[in-house]
Structure 1
């Protein structure tokens, strides 16, 4: 058993470092013993767009805390109360920490577990949401393991598809959730705001659902090319043309059945405003792009943001164009995704080759722990790659 745990640690805004920390214990952040937990050896642990909020200073974070909430690992230590997992199992870790016992968990609302975080009904690894240590590390403690962890049925089969399965912990189910909340189904027309990794997962998920015209909007041509090469229409938001006009040029009408905001409050405007930070731009764009009677999913993160341009937005108050949208009888759902609602079905879709375009859209790049600080710098500038960390060289081999 290892005695330490090399981890990606937050030392300040745009200052992430790899440090040696103590090996994790089977105990909760408050120090209580956790016989319901396991220790995982990280096989793949990703950099997420949400981690960039911490990197840039939009999300407050504790100095010395470990980053990361997208994890796939091998069970190496099992708590005495764990019944259905064994050493050697390969598992995906939902980024929501959920007890499985509270009212919300029992209703399948694991994104708003009432007990894992004593401060608010929401807990996650690698955020200020319950002080659960992040997974950009060699090893990780996971509580409530029998309830939370998704075990891959065949370890060798899973390792053959590990770069796709690595996104089951967050961005693929998150992307799928946005589409579900927007009512996507076979034949639906879909607009996806943002061609970052989660938006590209949304494009892949829309194809899995049988959507007809899938339109993706972004400013980065390399990202747009990834989805265009895999059956999607694209909109360059840098062009000074209203979004609905660009949708109409593609679809023949100015609105889609389903629109999903995968950007959140770090959005920019369209055309002449494309260099301007406008935190409500993406949500207003998807409300505008949704046809009357359609539905909208808001998956991008909105919250108090200390680096937002206005005092109201710094407090989490955003200028929504709701008066214009109201007449269309909008259906809008927002918030984090309950990963466990979708991850098993999406796992099966990957294992049985029903998402062959996912890898091409993701454009994964495997990196070592030591390469992580530089990868954050590159990703912050708008990289078209999805960074997957290989702490033990298990992917490289």
Structure 2
């Protein structure tokens, strides 16, 4: 039987490559596994040989010690791989298929899945609706920053690429289908971006850049990206975005100079709860408040940025339980709409795959994808944490050249 190596969280600021068990079609006890899921049979699953698995900003929240993630939790929820084994109940996915896996695990059977709300599946996490690979409080499904990974409900969860050779030619773009591209697209789409829209995206990390590229795909006339990080702002400008340096003031204070109007038609929060204010101090509600200020009356705000119910490193007791000081009166007075929560990846990933395969979207270039080895993952985490304007793609088997 093959071995298995994986990237694991060891403690605040530390990840290591460790040896773990090769997957089987049964959930075993381990770090972060919900006791109610231990022993759960997975005859509907497949085992993937990982081709590409990405480091995500959501992973960084755990690595910084900002969640209750236990040591040795295997990380990684952005998974692209080759099917090497199929469970006895798998009917349509076949050995040798190259597939993208949505980060949110779903059963395809519950009422929410049937309504395309796969981000709040009722059957995969005993604690609450919604699940994900390698993430704290998400049921304990082992993460995909590994050589091999188990994917449950494979006929439902696996997006099979129609032509393997064509897919490998565009594999870095397709590797973004598991999370950041649908997540960025969801942020723009749920904010109502359409032909001619003016759009503000808060945050120039990979999800923010994906939201900006998605807004362009949806027909925005101008996309403005705001951040403190000069390198990341330069990356946004590289594919046609306007930018705002937040060190020079709030978005609503600078927007008119950029687009000739102080307000935008749609706004996206791609930052989340570890946001920082202008003094450089953490202020978890600052981005939400700033996008409400810059959004026009009647606009919508997409919020793909992560907010949590428990943050041990929160700046105060309220922040530690996810309670934020929102200027909600502004949102109410403007009649703003908000869309929050995990992205229902399946709602978008097939059409986004077609956009990639037809050369409508070059998302790997937009987010500045960089391939690293599994052994180099700790370096990738460290550089990403320091603000590198790159999206790190782990090549677990040396198959990306």
TM-score by length of 2: 0.96
The correspondence for 1:153, drawn from 154, 162, 165, is: 162
Q: Is the 8 A contact 1:226 1:360 kept in 2?
A: no
Q: Is the 8 A contact 2:250 2:290 kept in 1?
A: no
Q: Secondary structure at the match of 1:260?
A: strand
How much is the aligned-residue C-alpha RMSD, in angstroms?
0.9
Deviation (angstroms), 1:33: 2.1
1:299 is aligned to: 304
Distance 1:278 1:8 in 2: 30
Q: Is the 8 A contact 2:176 2:364 kept in 1?
A: no
Distance 2:126 2:155 in 1: 21
1:321 is aligned to: 327
The correspondence for 1:74, drawn from 41, 64, 82, is: 82
1:116 is aligned to: 124
1:171 is aligned to: 180
Deviation (angstroms), 1:259: 0.1
Distance 2:18 2:95 in 1: 26
Runs of 4+ residues over 2 Å off in structure 1: none
Distance 1:242 1:280 in 2: 14
1:197 is aligned to: 206
Q: In structure 2, list runs of 5 or more residues that go unmatched.
A: 28-36
Q: Secondary structure at the match of 2:284?
A: coil
Q: Secondary structure at the match of 1:45?
A: strand
Distance 2:306 2:235 in 1: 23
1:341 is aligned to: 347
Q: Deviations over 1:145-202 (max 9, x none)?
A: 0001100000000000000100100010011111111101111110000000011111
Distance 1:350 1:334 in 2: 26
Distance 2:123 2:93 in 1: 23
Deviation (angstroms), 1:360: 2.3
1:93 is aligned to: 101
Deviation (angstroms), 1:125: 0.4
Q: Is the 8 A contact 2:195 2:220 kept in 1?
A: yes
Distance 2:175 2:345 in 1: 13
Distance 2:318 2:276 in 1: 17
1:45 is aligned to: 53
Q: Is the 8 A contact 2:49 2:82 kept in 1?
A: yes
1:103 is aligned to: 111
1:362 is aligned to: 367
Matched, 1:140 2:149: yes
Distance 1:11 1:204 in 2: 34
Q: Deviations over 1:126-151 (max 9, x none)?
A: 11200000000000000000001100
Q: Deviations over 1:234-257 (max 9, x none)?
A: 000111x33212111112111100
Q: How many residues are treated as equivalent by the alignment?
A: 390
**Equivalences for 1:283-298 in 2 at 5 Å?**
283-298=288-303
